[in-house]
């Protein structure tokens, strides 16, 4: 009898939870993680398995779409409740690939769709360069990358609906910079880069029109830099990077540089919009190639 009462109580609590979250009105956002995700059960116990990248995860928000973070004493990062293979778990908030702020990159603005397909009804419009928050991914079919995101305004639920991913920027910066190549952005400006984390004291400079003729110093001493722009794969997406190879001496060595510094297009464009007096004072990540 006692066991039966416990089961009834648990069932009642589960029903109450479901009646209070997005499952009630079938509005739960979904996403596909870029990395393997560590998992906690509903008591906060870390599991000995991971959700692998690219798996469908349902984020359990309120009926109104609001996210709720919790924290267990044993784990210092905030967690959020999800549904994975019809079971409830918690995962770290920082591994949830929703909530990013991007901008409308189509100069003509975009249509908001009722459903994630081209034939769906238009239910609104969003002007060029407007900020939107990624609320949900589109359900994938046959593991193919989706074409649509469900978005909303960052401070509420206006501009709520499905839009084409191709019409959005890849970060929260002036969308007029989105289609411009790194070389185009930097060709006519003075560049003054300092190391993001000043472990080595690296500074890199170049004059307008001399992107490929940089000078550099390390803790005030002259070094020798060369510039190149290279595409790299980042979570199955091609991202352009501005890179510098740095030598401590002027002699060319085919084997290796002493340092390399890199900044991707998203990071560069985000910093670039705050440029003043045609001088780009930016921060760049650098690593030593000779440290153990």
Along the chain (292 residues), what's the average pLDDT of each consecutive run of 10 residues? 40 54 95 94 94 96 93 86 97 94 96 95 96 96 89 92 95 93 95 88 96 95 94 81 92 72 94 94 91 60
Both tokens of 173, joined, read: 């910066």
This model's pTM is above 0.85: no
Instruction: Report CA 32 to chain centroid distance, whole Å.
Output: 13
Say what the pLDDT of residue 1 is: 47
**How far is the C-alpha of 195 from the C-alpha of 208, rounded, in Å?**
20
Say what the pLDDT of residue 132 is: 97
Query: Residue length, the chain?
Result: 292
126 closest CA partner among 159, 101, 98, 94: 159
Classify domain 101-175 at the CATH superfamily level: SH3 Domains (2.30.30.40)
Helix (H, G, I), strand (E, B) or coil at 5: helix
Say what the pLDDT of residue 115 is: 95
Both tokens of 18, joined, read: 């479901």
Say what the pLDDT of residue 191 is: 97
Separation of first and last alpha carbons in the chain: 65
**How far is the C-alpha of 11 from the C-alpha of 78, rounded, in Å?**
27
* Residues 103, 80 contacting (CB under 8 angstroms): no
Give the single-character DSSP code of 144: P
For 268, phi then psi, to 5°, come to -65, -50
For 7, phi then psi, to 5°, come to -65, -40
* Residues 245, 175 contacting (CB under 8 angstroms): no
193 closest CA partner among 206, 181, 184: 206
Sign of CA dihedral 37, 38, 44, 48: positive
* Residues 67, 121 contacting (CB under 8 angstroms): no
Pairing of strands 190-195, 279-288: parallel
């Amino acid at each position: 009898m006692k066991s039966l009462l416990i089961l009834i109580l648990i069932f009642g609590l589960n029903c109450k939870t479901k009646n209070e979250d997005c499952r009630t009105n079938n509005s739960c956002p979904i996403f596909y993680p870029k990395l393997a995700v560590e998992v906690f059960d509903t008591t906060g116990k870390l599991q000995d398995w991971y959700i692998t990248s690219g798996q469908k995860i349902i984020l359990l928000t309120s009926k109104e779409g609001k996210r709720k973070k919790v924290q267990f004493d044993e784990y210092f990062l905030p967690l959020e409740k999800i549904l994975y293979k019809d079971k409830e778990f918690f995962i770290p908030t920082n591994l949830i690939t929703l909530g990013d702020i991007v901008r409308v990159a189509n100069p003509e603005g975009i249509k908001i769709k009722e459903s994630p397909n081209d034939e769906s009804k238009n239910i609104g419009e969003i002007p060029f360069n407007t900020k939107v928050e990624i609320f949900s991914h589109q359900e994938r079919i046959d593991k193919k990358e989706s074409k649509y995101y469900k978005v909303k305004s960052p401070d509420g639920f206006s501009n709520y609906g499905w839009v084409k991913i191709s019409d959005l920027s890849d970060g929260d910066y002036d969308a007029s910079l989105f289609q411009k190549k790194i070389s185009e952005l930097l060709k006519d400006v003075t560049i003054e880069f300092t190391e993001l984390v000043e472990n080595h004291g690296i500074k890199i400079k170049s004059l307008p029109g001399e992107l490929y003729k940089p000078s550099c110093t390390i803790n005030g001493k002259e070094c020798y830099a060369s510039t190149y722009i290279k595409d790299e794969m980042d979570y199955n997406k091609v991202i352009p990077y501005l890179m510098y190879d740095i030598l401590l001496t002027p002699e060319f060595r085919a084997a290796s540089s002493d340092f390399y510094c890199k900044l991707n297009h998203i990071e560069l464009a985000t910093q670039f919009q705050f440029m003043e007096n045609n001088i780009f004072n930016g921060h760049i990540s650098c690593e030593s190639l000779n440290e153990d």
